[in-house]
Amino acid sequence: MDKKRQGRRKELIKEGKFGPQEAISLITITIVTGVFFTSPSILASYVGTATWYMTLISAATAALGFTFVYLLLKRFPGKNIVEIFEITLGRFLGFIFSGLLLALFLLSPATMLRDFTEVMNVYVFPLSPPSYIMGFFIIGVILLGILGLETQARFSRLVAPILLVAFVAALIVASQNYELYRFTPILGYGIKRTIYHGLTRSSVYGYTIILAVIASSLQGTKHIKKIGYISIVASGILVSAATLAFTLTFSYYTAEEVPSSLYQMMALIDFGRFFQRFDALFFFIWDISTLITVSLELYIAASIYCKMFRIQNIKPVIIPFSIIIFTIALIPKDLGTFMSGYANLIPEYGWTVFYILPIIALIAAKLRGKKGEGEHA
């Protein structure tokens, strides 16, 4: 009877199937999007000129953390993280672990949405209230969320090459304002501080946990391993390049005051009367990548919720969750409040959910001898 129920549940909760390229595009865009907003300025206040290699330390730490996620998925082939928590920890504790993951994926898109809105207020729509900007943006998020995970993945694969070319072109064009002397002091505010923040802010790359939520949509744990590591390496290189460009453009003692470093870099480009204001190019990257990121995280939150409560249709959950995310995003009073508190919650403390929970589940599985049917190790 249980097997029949599980089979029926798998048939009804259809998240689609897609390949490694689509998944890599999704995860990489989700990780890299954060560098477009206030994150580089916050990093500059922590480590000065060391932001470009501090983020590589974070990526290396995240790769190690993802290894435990992969080992957990490998032990339970065909299972998602919610099912694995329940199998290894029991229904009650597994429910709590899944609930913590759900809370993170409700907070994360809300934070991204508010980050996007605040920067839009500063540079594009200074007179518009945040609720107005977020309200229009959330409509697109809802539509993409209702279309489903497979549509999001294929859309990401379609636009990823365009976004990559535009991103690289933007960094190359901005090189007219690079000054090598701004590269120093190379150790920033001290190597110990750089390593510390590199380790604690590894959560920025921890969104590879999404692969554990949508495991059934991918082509086995072997592909999940490849997708996770490639996504971390690719995003690490891109984020490091962006923060290095930021460091070479702005002095570290003024970088802390720039709400969106990359947007400001584009606005400074001037090749004469007919080649100015390249921020329009950046605006395209900014909007599309944010739409993909917020939509994906909204969908993942809804997916976790449906898996926890055995809900068979995910579409009715999208709109209520969008309202919750919109409401959370309205909580910070202003940009200063947001940057000093909310913007740091997931980067600083998200590792406890991204890495520690899967590690506990893996240890519990080892101690209790729990394995998936296809696991023979």
Angle between helices 130-147 and 279-308 (to 10 degrees): 60
Query: Which DSSP string do the residues of 275-288 spell out, in sequence order?
Result: SB-THHHHHHHHHH
Q: What is the pLDDT of residue 102?
A: 97
Q: Which residues lie closer than 8 Å to 284 by C-beta, 6 or more apart?
A: 166
| Phi then psi dihedrals of residue 270, to 5 deg | -150, 105
Determine the residue type at 208. Answer: T
Q: How far is CA 97 from CA 102, 110, 309, 344, 354, in A?
A: 9, 21, 14, 22, 11
Q: What is the pLDDT of residue 295?
A: 97
Q: What is the pTM of this model?
A: 0.92
- Kindly state the DSSP code that residue 64 receives in the 8-state scheme: H
What are the structural domains, with CATH classification, of the chain? 18-268+276-368 (1.20.1740.10)
Q: To 10 degrees, the CA torsion angle through 231, 232, 235, 236? A: -160
Per-residue pLDDT of the chain in tens (377 residues, 90 and over written 9): 444 444 444 444 577 889 999 999 999 999 999 898 888 888 898 999 999 999 999 999 999 999 999 999 999 998 999 999 999 999 999 999 999 999 999 999 999 999 899 888 888 888 889 899 999 999 999 999 999 999 999 999 999 999 999 899 889 988 988 999 998 889 999 999 999 999 999 999 999 999 999 998 887 788 999 999 999 999 999 999 999 999 999 887 777 778 888 888 888 887 766 666 677 777 888 899 999 999 999 999 999 999 999 998 999 999 999 999 999 999 887 766 666 667 788 888 999 999 999 999 999 999 988 887 654 43
